């Protein structure tokens, strides 16, 4: 039997994974949620038909969105994750014993429940006592905090649908306000490759650049995301993402990673020329 | 024939049938279901172009409705509690004009609050009616004009027993209502008609949590913008009358200025929106009220901003308040409403309805989502954090009592006119309009005296970025006055 999951990466480009079986399909108040079992990528989570994570390559995304800011601020104690209801980002942060509290704010409790049940590889972290889940609009949550968090990680879906508020100037400005004086915000920053994605990415950078004194972009290779070339944003009030990284201290923590390492951290901020151009255009 | 109910949408049903018949069009419009204009069809969609058709027997004719348009108008009248409804395709401007042209001839007096929409004064230029303005009370802090006090209406009626009608904003742009029931009673006792500009009141007809709708209060005519809170297409509107007004005469008046090629896109949108309101209006309005109440409490929690509501009710000039209106006083952060309006659009990609010198109005309706409201609230919170400044030195708004020297028509069509530099026009009689847009309420109307106070207001509003519209000189460096 030929059963395939297909996502349109553009109206003219399709990406397909052979599906062994569908484990879950449901509709929450906000979106349709599906979990598939596949031979090549293990379990796959999709929201409204867009691939969010696979068991095989989620480590790349989750390591890069967490260890980059954590190695710049290994002393961080209070972390806010906006989005990230699958639990992958929280799992990586939990590896730092010095972190005292993680607040995770996702609009959709059903995604978290589905991941707990079907994708424990990421979802299990949500039950850790240091993780405090708040199921509400991230934009609403952040408004009420000031000078409170060391690091904010914006682990959002795409800039359309339920996650669109997390790509706005008002959101980034409120993140700035919620961070302490030396705070860092890292965000999922879309892809520079296809035109539509590149436009969203440029707009997001423009807004972050206007909201933070330090704003840089870094990249990773994520096989199941459109084009595979994915970006993250590093915005900070004080620390430079490379010069202020405390790699000696980080290495002493003995955190074993599969993708991230200090050399790659520094290199990830070196962008291809075409990406530099998109970014410079709005700086 | 089956009796029609609110479940029906006769114009929609007729258009569906017409599509099924695959009629070959040898009539206008010339784009022939879009085939002749590919770019426009790609842009608007084939479905839309396929129903942009001309009147034909199965689709009735807006100028002389005898079948499906008549049926749709009957259903609308029943849904809104009127004797008759007219589908209008020239905006609520055309409905307002039809009301005034129906009850006033040249020289007839009409009692009205100054904060009327420009369409009201335009109608007076057309028909030669004479305005008797009532000073709408002012809220000094918010700098907005309110409703009419009953004492003022009664006095105007007593002083002008020959007036033909009283016009009421139900509500104002800001959601403020006068005591329309008492106004209707007083006016009727003095043989005057009551006309209601309900450009912002469509939803009143479908909820018991909102101010009284004009037709329910006994008004004789009401101009209702379904395209605002009712969800129909821009430029569509409805005009309602009670059984004291002649349906045939009103249609004659409408046909003086209305197109003979009424758009079926607009008419079907009225039909569909009426059905939706009749069937689910209460529930829709409840959800709008909940969303606005939530936003008000969040905005008031930010600090400084004041999103006002029913606490402003005073039983007279603020007889009632439309709680679906999200009006926010912004001067307490040192910014004019128009400045916040500009920042929201330029910096945050949020378009609000309007900003005046002290307030911002966010229009909330049927189509709004909670997550978009979070964006608005968050952006307001950010604007306060980033832009807040000292609020002293901002102009206190005051009601400028218009000094009407001539009826609008006489001044507008005068042979004795000249153009003067704005500041030299003091003491002259203006022959054109000046208004601050939005909301489009006149600062000067034809026939009124230009005073120093008026000029001060114009300069201040211009400096704050308000768009001044109306005059022949679009930059308003010159003003047309009587020589």
- The answer, for A139 touching chain B at a CB cutoff of 8 Å, is yes
- The nearest CA of chain A is from the CA of B379 a distance in Å of 5
B402 by DSSP, 3-state: which? Answer: coil
A82 touching B, CB under 8 A?
A: no
Among B residues 344-373, those touching chain A with beta carbons less than 8 Å apart: 347-349, 370-371
Say yes or no for a CB contact (<8 Å) between A143 and B377. Answer: yes
**What pLDDT shows up at residue B8?**
97
Q: Which of A108, A155, A158, A197 is catalytic?
A: A155
CB contact under 8 A, B349 and A143: no
Q: Which residues contact A124 (CB under 8 A, 6 or more apart)?
A: A87, A91, A116
**Nearest CA to CA, how far is A172 from chain B (Å)?**
10
Given this model, what pLDDT does residue B395 score? 62
From residue A164, alpha-carbon distances to A48, A175, B374 in Å are 14, 15, 11
Cα distance between residue B294 and residue B374, in whole Å: 10
Work out whether the CA dihedral B455, B460, B463, B464 comes out positive or negative: negative
B377 contacts chain A (CB < 8 A) = yes
Q: Is it true that the peptide bond before B171 is cis, omega within 30 degrees of 0?
A: yes
Instruction: Supply the pLDDT for residue A81.
Output: 98
pLDDT tens digits, one per residue of B77-114 = 999 999 999 999 999 999 999 999 999 999 999 999 98
**What are the chain B neighbours of A31 within 8 Å (beta carbons)?**
none
Indicate the pTM of the whole model. 0.88
ipTM: 0.85
Residue A138 has what pLDDT?
94
Q: Which residue of chain B comes nearest to A206, CA vs CA?
A: B347
How confident is the prediction for chain B on average, in pLDDT? 93
Q: Which domains does chain B have, with CATH numbers?
A: 10-105+152-278 (3.40.640.10), 282-387 (3.90.1150.10), 408-482 (3.90.100.10)
User: Is 90 exceeded by the pLDDT of residue B468?
Assistant: no
pLDDT digits (tens, 9 = 90+) for B205-220: 999 999 999 999 999 9
In DSSP notation, B118-174 reads HHHHHHHHHH--EEEEE---EETTTTEE----HHHHHHHHHH-TT--EEEEESS-TT
The residue-averaged pLDDT of A253-271 equals 97
Q: Which residue of A has its CA nearest to B370?
A: A137
Write down how long chain B is.
Answer: 483
Q: Give the per-residue pLDDT at A164.
A: 85
Q: Chain A partners of B375 at a C-beta cutoff of 8 Å?
A: 139, 165, 168, 170
Which sequence spans correspond to the domains of chain A? Answer: 4-54, 58-280
pLDDT band at B169; cut points 50, 70, 90: very high
Q: Which of B347, B349, B375 sits opposite A139 (nearest CB)?
A: B375
Chain B within 8 Å of A168 (Cβ-Cβ)?
yes
Neighbours of B22 (CB within 10 A): 7
* Residue among B298, B370, B378 whose CB faces A170 most closely: B378
Architecture of the CATH domain A58-280: 3-Layer(aba) Sandwich (3.40)
B357 pLDDT band, cuts 50/70/90, is confident
pLDDT > 80? residue A107: yes
Determine contact: A237 vs chain B, CB below 8 A. no
On chain B, the residues whose CB falls within 8 A of the CB of A200 are: none
- Closest residue on chain A to B345 (Cα): A169
Closest Cα in chain B to A139? B374
Q: How far apart are CA B37 and CA B483, in angstroms?
A: 51
Kindly state the average pLDDT of the residues B323-336.
94
Q: With beta carbons less than 8 A apart as the criterion, state whether A69 and A234 touch.
A: yes
Per-residue confidence band for B431, with pLDDT thresholds at 50, 70 and 90? very high
pLDDT bucket at B190, cuts 50 / 70 / 90: very high
The answer to whether residue B277 neighbours chain A at the CB level (below 8 Å) is no
Q: Is A182 a catalytic residue?
A: no
Smallest CA–CA separation between A163 and chain B, in Å?
Answer: 9
Residues of chain B with C-beta less than 8 angstroms from the C-beta of A83: none
Cα B123 to Cα A206: distance, rounded to the nearest angstrom: 48
Of A142, A162, A170, the CB nearest to B371: A162
Query: How distant is the Cα of A55 from the closest Cα of chain B, in angstroms?
Result: 30
CATH number of the domain located at residue range(s) A4-54 in this protein:
2.30.140.10
CB contact under 8 A, B371 and A164: yes
When CB atoms are compared, the residue of A162, A164, A170 closest to B382 is A170
Are the C-beta atoms of residues B293 and B362 closer than 8 Å to each other?
A: no
Spatial separation of the C-alpha atoms in residues B226 and B229, rounded to whole Å:
6
pLDDT at B465: 76
Q: Per the CB < 8 Å rule, is B378 touching A164?
A: no
Question: Please, which pLDDT band fits residue A33 given cuts at 50, 70 and 90?
Answer: very high
- Rounded to whole angstroms, the Cα distance separating B374 from B365 reads 15
Tens-place pLDDT, residues B284-294 = 999 999 999 99
Which of A30, A31, A136, A140 best probes binding to B when mutated, by most B CB atoms within 10 angstroms?
A140
Quote the strand ranges of chain A, DSSP E: 4-10, 13-27, 32-38, 42-47, 50-54, 78-83, 101-106, 131-135, 149-155, 179-188, 214-221, 229-236
pLDDT recorded at residue B440: 60
Higher pLDDT: A100 or A157? It is: A100
List the single residue in B371, B381, B386 with the smallest CB-CB distance to A165. Answer: B371
Contacts of A270 (CB under 8 A, 6+ apart): none
């Amino acid at each position: 039997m030929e059963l395939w999951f297909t996502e349109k990466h553009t109206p003219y480009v399709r990406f397909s994974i052979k599906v062994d079986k569908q484990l879950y399909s449901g509709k929450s108040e906000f979106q349709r949620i599906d979990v598939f079992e596949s031979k090549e990528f293990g379990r796959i989570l999709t929201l409204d038909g867009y691939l969010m994570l696979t068991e095989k390559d989620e480590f790349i995304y989750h390591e890069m969105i967490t260890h980059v800011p954590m190695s710049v601020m290994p002393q961080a104690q209070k972390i806010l994750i906006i989005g990230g209801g699958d639990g992958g980002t929280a799992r990586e942060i939990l590896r730092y014993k010095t972190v005292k509290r993680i607040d995770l704010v996702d609009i959709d409790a059903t995604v978290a429940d589905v991941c707990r049940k079907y994708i424990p590889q990421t979802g299990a972290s949500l039950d850790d006592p240091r993780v405090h889940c708040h199921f509400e609009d991230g934009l609403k949550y952040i408004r009420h905090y000031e000078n409170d968090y060391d690091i904010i990680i914006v682990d959002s879906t795409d800039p359309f649908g339920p996650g669109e508020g997390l790509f706005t100037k008002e959101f980034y400005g409120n993140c700035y306000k919620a961070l302490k004086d030396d705070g860092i915000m890292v965000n999922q920053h879309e892809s520079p490759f296809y035109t539509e994605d590149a436009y969203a990415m440029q707009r997001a950078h423009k807004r972050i650049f206007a909201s933070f004194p330090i704003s840089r972009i870094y990249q990773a290779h994520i096989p199941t995301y459109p084009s595979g070339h994915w970006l993250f944003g590093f915005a900070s009030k004080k620390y430079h993402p490379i010069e202020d990284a405390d790699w000696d201290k980080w290495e002493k923590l003995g955190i074993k990673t599969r993708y991230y390492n200090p050399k790659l951290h520094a290199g990830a901020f070196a962008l291809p020329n075409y990406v530099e151009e998109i970014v410079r255009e709005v700086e | 024939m089956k009796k029609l109910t609110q479940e029906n949408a006769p114009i929609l049903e007729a258009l569906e049938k017409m599509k099924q018949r695959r009629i070959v069009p040898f009539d206008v419009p010339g784009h022939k279901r879009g085939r002749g204009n590919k770019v426009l069809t790609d842009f608007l969609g084939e479905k839309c172009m396929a129903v942009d058709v001309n009147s034909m027997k199965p689709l009735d004719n807006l100028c002389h409705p005898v079948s499906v348009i008549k049926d749709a108008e009957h259903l609308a009248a029943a849904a809104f509690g009127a004797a008759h409804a007219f589908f209008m395709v020239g905006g609520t401007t055309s409905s307002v004009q039809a009301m005034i042209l129906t009850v006033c001839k040249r020289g007839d007096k009409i009692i009205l609050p100054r904060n009327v929409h420009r369409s009201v004064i335009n109608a007076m230029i057309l028909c030669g009616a004479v305005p008797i303005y009532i000073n709408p009370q002012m809220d000094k802090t918010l700098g907005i004009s309110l409703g009419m006090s009953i004492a003022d209406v009664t006095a105007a009626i007593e002083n002008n027993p020959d007036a033909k009608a009283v016009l009421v904003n139900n509500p104002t742009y800001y959601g403020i209502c006068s005591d329309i029931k008492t106004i209707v009673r007083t006016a009727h006792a003095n043989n005057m008609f009551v006309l209601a500009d309900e450009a912002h009141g469509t939803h009143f007809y479908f909820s018991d949590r909102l101010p009284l709708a004009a037709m329910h209060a006994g008004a004789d005519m009401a101009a209702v913008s379904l395209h605002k809170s009712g969800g129909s297409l821009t430029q569509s509107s409805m005009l309602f009358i009670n059984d004291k007004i002649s349906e045939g005469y009103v249609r004659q008046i409408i046909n003086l200025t209305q197109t003979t090629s009424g758009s079926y896109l607009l008419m079907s949108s009225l039909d569909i929106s009426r059905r939706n309101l009749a069937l689910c209006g209460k529930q829709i309005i409840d959800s709008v009220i909940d969303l606005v109440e939530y936003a008000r409490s969040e905005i008031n929690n930010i600090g400084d901003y004041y999103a006002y509501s029913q606490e402003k009710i005073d039983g007279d000039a603020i007889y009632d308040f439309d709680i679906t209106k999200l009006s926010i006083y912004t001067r307490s952060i040192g910014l004019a409403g128009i400045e916040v309006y500009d920042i929201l659009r330029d910096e945050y990609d949020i378009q609000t309805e309007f900003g005046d010198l002290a307030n911002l109005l966010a229009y909330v309706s049927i189509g709004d989502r909670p997550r978009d409201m979070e964006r608005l609230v968050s952006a307001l919170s950010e604007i306060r954090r980033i832009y807040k400044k000292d609020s002293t030195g901002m102009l206190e708004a005051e009601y400028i009592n218009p000094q009407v020297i001539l009826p609008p028509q006489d001044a507008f069509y005068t042979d004795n006119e000249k153009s003067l530099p704005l500041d030299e026009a003091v003491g002259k009689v203006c022959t054109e309009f000046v208004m601050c847009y939005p909301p489009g309420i006149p600062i000067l109307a034809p026939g009124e005296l230009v005073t120093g106070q008026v000029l001060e207001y114009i300069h201040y509003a211009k400096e704050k970025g308000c768009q001044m519209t109306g005059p022949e000189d679009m930059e308003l460096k010159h003003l047309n006055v009587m020589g």
